[in-house]
A and B are shown apart, each in its own frame.
Chain A
Amino acid sequence: KQEVTQIPAALSVPEGENLVLNCSFTDSAIYNLQWFRQDPGKGLTSLLLIQSSQREQTSGRLNASLDKSSGRSTLYIAASQPGDSATYLCAVDNNNDMRFGAGTRLTVKP
């Protein structure tokens, strides 16, 4: 069974810092990996999707990388802002069987 782990569980940084969130998974036979943002009491907002054949995806200040062979992905956030405060979830898709990590709760202090 696919296991997804996210480290750290919580992170607090001052505004303007660059930061990295980590995701690891046990079964490398994935179709894609997706990073989501979840605000308190809200649903999930997709940030980036990396297909299994890709190494990275970028959107604005966000960059996600994927190393399928080692079972790892990172989400890099540049120049963090207070509005980035949320829980970030990593999910791997084994063909319509999506497994999530428990998330990293990020707080960006003004």
Chain B
Amino acid sequence: GAGVSQSPRYKVAKRGQDVALRCDPISGHVSLFWYQQALGQGPEFLTYFQNEAQLDKSGLPSDRFFAERPEGSVSTLKIQRTQQEDSAVYLCASSPKGGAYEQYFGPGTRLTVT
């Protein structure tokens, strides 16, 4: 069966550009998570959706970061006015239920801001 997919896999943006990263979760999965992973570090939580509701956005580093999941399936993470410190791998994960269940990760989008 299809796993979590993310697109694009690689994105190069000039400083100041806006970017949009897409996540397609496993079909039917209720929960969706976004993480940011800097080089040599573990992933850091950004935000969490249960269906279309964004229940936790405490990890978003600034108001330049915005995430949505309007129909409770596909999610988009948008970064406005990108800066060099935004360079990282952005990982998406989905889980079949709400609550603390096993998360299934996508391959990530590597964002490089020049």
Contact = CB atoms under 8 A, between A and B. Distances in A.
Partners in one complex: yes
Interface of A: 4, 31-32, 34, 36, 41-46, 49, 89, 91, 93-103
Contact of A95 (B43, B99, B105, B106): B99
B40 A44 contact: no
B42 A97 contact: no
Contacts of B105: 36, 43-46
A6 B48 CA distance: 25
Given A45-B105, A99-B45, A102-B41, 19 more contacts: A34-B103, A42-B107, A43-B105, A43-B107, A43-B108, A44-B91, A44-B93, A44-B105, A46-B104, A49-B102, A89-B42, A91-B43, A96-B48, A96-B98, A96-B99, A98-B45, A102-B40, A102-B42, A103-B42
Contacts, number: 59
